[in-house]
Amino acid sequence: MEAYFDNSATTRVLDSVKELVVKVMTEDYGNPSSKHRRGMEAEQYVRQAASDIAKTLKVKDKEILFTSGGTESNNLALIGTALANQRAGKHIISTRIEHASVYNPLAFLEQQGFEVTYLPVDGEGHISLEELKKSLRPDTILVSVMYVNNEMGAIEPVEEIGALIHQENPKTLFHVDAIQAYGKLVIRPKKQGIDLLSVSAHKIHGPKGVGFLYIDEKVKIKPLLYGGGQQRDLRSGTENVPGIAGLGLAAREMYTDHQKKMDHILALKDHMIEEMENLEGVTVNSRRGMDSAPQIVSASFLGVRSEVLLHALEDKGIYVSSGSACSSNHPAISGTLQAIGVKRELLDSTLRFSFGLFNTMEEVDYCIQTLKELLPMLRRYRRM
C-alpha cells in the first residue's frame, strides 16, 4: 500500500482540473489580451475563475488578483501595501510562526526602514489578542497573521483579530495568509475584517504555479511587476490561463459539498491522533476536531530523528514531511515548534502528516501499524 500524507506540501490534482488545464493548453490557448476570438475565449476562462473564487468568499470578482502562487501573493500583500501606505506609518505587526514567504518580505521591509513587531504564541499556537492590542499604534499600517499554521495546524481567531484591528485603528490593513486554510475552512473576508488574503492552487488539488490575492477594493497597493498593465495594472504579464482555469475549478470543487469533504478529512485526522496518542513516546502537537485545522497532524517521536523516521516511512510507501516543504532546502529547527514550547529533545523528532481528498481510513491504519513496527526498531538502533 502507498499512503501520501504530505498534502500540506502539495496535493494531487483533481481529474476534472487536469482535463480542463489540458484543454486550455491545447485547444483554447489564446492570449487573453488578444482582441480576436481566441483571445476572448481565453479571457472568459480568467473571468469565470475570478467569479467562481469570488463566490466562495462572498466578495466581488474584481477583488481577485491572480498570481504565481502563495509566495507571490504574500510578497505583494506585504511589500505592495507597505510601500503604498508608508506615509501613514512604517509599523507592521506579524507573529513568530509565519511562513518564510511572510518572514522574508518582512525582513526586506525592515531593511527599507519599516519596523516589525513579532507577536509570540501560546502552547496551542495562538496569539494573544491582548498582546496584539498593546502592539497596535497610530502608525501601524499593516497586521499579517497566518490563518492556519502550516506545521501544526493552529487556527488563529481571525475574525476577532480583524475586529480588534479595525476597532483600534480603522486605517490599519489586515492581511491573512490563508494558504493552508482556503478550501478547508469557510472564509468570509468582509465579515471577518480581512483586507488581503493569500491563496495557492496546489494546496487545494489545483495546479502548481498559480494562486490569487484577494484585495479589498478600498485597499491602496503598489504592484511589484511592471509591464503590459494586465489585471488592472496590478500584476503585469500574460495571465497563466490554464493554471487560472484549473484554480477556479479546484476552488469550485472544494466548496461543493464542502462540509462532507471536510468531515471525511477531519475523521482521518482524529483517528490518527487517537491512535498516535496510544503509541509509546509519541507526543501529538495538533488538536482533535476543529480546535486545529482538519488536515494537519504534527507529532513528535521521542528518541527518533525526524529525517530517519521520514525515510523509514518512505521505504514503506508512506510520504510525510519533517516541516515546511517550501523551505526544505534550508533545514533548520522549526521556529514554530520552538514558539509553541515543544521540548528540546523533540524539536528534531517531529513529523507532519497532512490529508487531502484522496486519503482513506485504511491508509491511516496502515501508517499506524507501520509506526508500531518501526519505532521500537529505530530506537534500539539509535542506542547501539
Residue numbers annotated as active site: 326
Q: Could you tell me if residue 193 is left (phi over 0), alpha (psi between -120 and 50 degrees) or otherwise beta?
A: left
Helix axes 361-383, 258-276, angle to 10 degrees: 30
The count of other CB atoms within 10 Å of the CB of residue 308 is 17
In whole angstroms, what is the distance from residue 155 CA to residue 56 CA? 19
The secondary structure element, H or E, covering residue 115 is strand 115-119
Q: Which residues pair with 215 in a beta bridge?
A: 196
The count of other CB atoms within 10 Å of the CB of residue 314 is 11
Q: Which of 302, 377, 384 is nearest to 344 (CA)?
A: 302
First to last CA, the chain: 31
C-alpha cell at 244: 487560472
Q: Is 154 exposed, middle or buried (0-12, 13-18, 19+ CB in 10 A)?
A: buried
Helix (H, G, I), strand (E, B) or coil at 69: coil
Which DSSP state fits 79? I
Give the C-alpha distances (Å, rounded to integers) separating 334 from 199, 234, 267, 348: 23, 34, 27, 8
Cβ–Cβ < 8 Å for 78, 105? yes
Q: Which of 57, 296, 55 is nearest to 186 (CA)?
A: 57
Alpha helices in 58-197 (DSSP H): 70-75, 81-85, 100-111, 129-135, 158-168, 189-192
C-alpha cell at 57: 468568499
Number of residues in the chain: 384
Which DSSP state fits 80? I
C-alpha cell at 243: 493554471
Do the strands 64-67 and 3-4 form a parallel or antiparallel pair, or are they unpaired? Answer: unpaired
